Chains A and B, each alone.
Chain A
Amino acid sequence: MRRRRSRVVELRAIAHARSGDKGDTANVGLIALKPAHYPVLVRQVTAARVARHFRGMIKGPVERFELPNLRALNFLLHGALDGGGTISLKTDAQGKVFSTALLRMTVKLSA
């Protein structure tokens, strides 16, 4: 029997994203480029994996919400912004580029 081959790609090959802030929480909206990519995001980009991806960058838990109508996932990264808003010392105090940081994560696509 032939083994099904798969290839590994960065999320940016199959998704786009935008991020923002609410206090010390950054949100990342991850959007599938094509309808067929949405199930890949749902299966592989879990809250636990996102938490591991951002290890050392965020202090709190990660929550995930599904928006199948927009083919999007929304992640809340708690404790991501050094206190957030005016308190934060970070260049990215408002979490604007956590979006592309998430797009560095890899996923497996069946060939």
Chain B
Amino acid sequence: MKDRVRVAAGQGFWGDWLEAPYRQVTGGPIDYLMMDYLAEVTMSIMQKQKSRDSSLGYAKDFIPLMERILPLIVERRIRVTANAGGVNPRACAEAVAAVARRLKLAGRLTIGVVTGDDLLPRMDELLAGGHELRNMDTGRPLSDVRDRVLSANAYLGAAPVVDALARGADVVITGRVTDTGLTLGPLMHEFGWSMSDWDRIAAGTVAGHIIECGAQSSGGNQLIDWQRVPDLANVGYPIVDAKPDGTFEITKHPRTGGRITVAGVTEQLVYEMGDPRRYITPDGVADFTSIDLEQSGKDRVRVSGVRGAPAPEQLKVSIAYAYGYKAVGTLVYAWPDAVAKARAADRVLRERLKDLGLEFEAILTELVGYDSTHGPLAARATRAQDVPEVQLRVGVRAREQAPVERFTREIAPLILNGPPSVTGFAGGRPKPEEIVAYWPALIDRQQVQPCVDVVRV
């Protein structure tokens, strides 16, 4: 058994900095590279892509990124965990295998593929069996939207990742494995933690939570004293340096920018938090009120004391369904009276939409530069007549496409037939966008069987 394991974060979401994984692999010693690609919204985007082309549906960026680092990770024996597989892990793994063969790494790389999260093929059977998959927010049964369901994926935990690693996988590509499971899995595998060692599982989960958003724990998007975060251009992504007892340090490679501080790690701990005593994952429940943080060195924060509780009987299911359509149109109004002009344009626009008899579920008007982020709190604190310019931003949403399509043609006319001092329309007419919405639900965990395939390239 190793006495320390270093898990480095390489991507915090699909679209994160492409340089980060390369720098993590080359900037100093690490044992694992962990890359988190999946947010609630991401699965629905991938589902859209898969519905157009059945060979897609995974994080495409992952392939050129792996092409760049594969020779290095093979040489340095660094293993990779990534949920880049999205809604099509097998296609993702095949694309990585093709790259490995092209790089003449055949015979030197083993790929693990974790599936079993996809519940769509069994949806009707599950519903008929009394699993209502009620929306956790609204309480409505899934039967309300059954005919519009596009994907349904249970959140898998660390267990199948551990299985893939135990069977020799160098690169573990998963579907909807939790963000935290990608870090916890390597720690459980290397330290031999039991599946019911709730405190250590909670500790590994907290480690995963701290690094799952990449640089958000090492200086990125950090509010406290933000002007003095050093050298963000070369920000070092976070690394978990863990011990078998479940304590760990958060650190980063030397000679990188950013910073690792108690305050910065705390900001990441509270990010997307619900009830801090019950941070629920498929692997166990972590109590965030038990976490002790200590600055143990420059750019090193020690994390200890984490307590856990047994895993839940139910797993969360991320369901995507066709909801409707939306579009957002924007125009920029200049001083003087920029706010008043934008408001007047909004009134004209809304009157025209009404006269056309268009029906929307929602119309939302924001003035970017005035109230789009802090709403009335900002507007009250600002003298409207002093605002040099605002962007009028009007969004509409409807179940049908037609009214949204018609709305997109009502923005440009305002340039010549609305209030004056208007510009910023070079982008042309806005495009209606399909809304694939998210339906969170729970399912009994015995209904979900993770599947692990391990293939030598």
Q: Kindly state whether residue B224 has any CB partner on chain A within 8 Å.
A: yes
Residues of A within 8 A of B272 (CB): 20-22, 27
How many chain A residues touch B (Cβ–Cβ < 8 Å)?
43
The interface size bin for chain B is 35 or more
Flag if A67 contacts B276 (CB, 8 Å): yes
Q: Mark B264-300, 1 if CB is under 8 A from A, else 0.
A: 0011111111111100000000001111110000000
- Bound together, the chains give a CA A17 to CA B288 distance in angstroms of 17
A104, B271: Cβ atoms closer than 8 Å:
no
Complex alpha-carbon distance, A65 and B438, angstroms:
26
> Does A6 count as interface, using CB distance less than 8 angstroms?
no
How many interface contacts (CB-CB < 8 Å) are there between A and B?
133
CA A99 to CA B378, docked complex, whole Å: 13
Q: In B148-181, which residues have CB < 8 Å from any A CB?
A: none
Contacts of B326 in A (CB 8 A): 87, 89
Minimum distance in angstroms from B430 CB to a CB of chain A: 12
User: Which residues between 343 and 387 of chain B lie within 8 Å of chain A, taking CB atoms?
Assistant: 362, 364, 366, 368, 372-378, 381
Chain A positions 58-99 with a Cβ under 8 Å from a chain B Cβ = 65-72, 74, 76, 82-87, 89-92, 97, 99
Q: How far is the CA of A54 from the CA of B374 in the complex (A)?
A: 9
In angstroms, how far is the closest chain A Cβ from the Cβ of B432? 13
Is A31 located at the chain interface by the 8 A CB criterion? yes
Which of B263, B269, B377, B436 meets A53, CB within 8 Å? B377
Decide: A70 and B291 in contact? CB cutoff 8 A: yes
Task: Please tell me if B191 contacts chain A, counting CB pairs below 8 Å.
Answer: no
Main secondary structure of the interface of B (DSSP, over half): mixed
Dominant secondary structure of chain A at its interface with chain B: mixed
Task: Say yes or no: is B50 at the interface (Cβ < 8 Å to chain A).
Answer: no
Q: What residues of chain B lie closer than 8 Å to A48, measured between beta carbons? A: none
Q: Does B22 sit within 8 A of A, measured CB to CB?
A: no
Q: C-beta contact mask, A5-31 vs B, less than 8 Å → 1, else 0?
A: 000000000001111111111010101
Answer whether residue B393 sits at the interface, using C-beta atoms and an 8 A cutoff: yes
Contact between A29 and B438, CB atoms less than 8 A apart: no
When chains A and B are docked, how far (Å) is the Cα of A4 from the Cα of B440?
52
Given A16-B223, A31-B267, A65-B276, A91-B373 contact (CB < 8 Å):
yes
Query: Are A86 and B223 in contact, with the CB atoms below 8 A?
Result: no
A4 CA to B359 CA, complexed, in Å = 59
Taking a contact as CB atoms closer than 8 A, the residue among B263, B374, B437 that contacts A101 in the complex is B374
**A residues at B contact (CB < 8 Å):** 16-25, 27, 29, 31, 33, 53-54, 56-57, 65-72, 74, 76, 82-87, 89-92, 97, 99-101, 104
Q: List 7 A-B contacts (CB under 8 A).
A: A24-B137, A29-B269, A56-B376, A70-B266, A87-B397, A89-B396, A101-B375
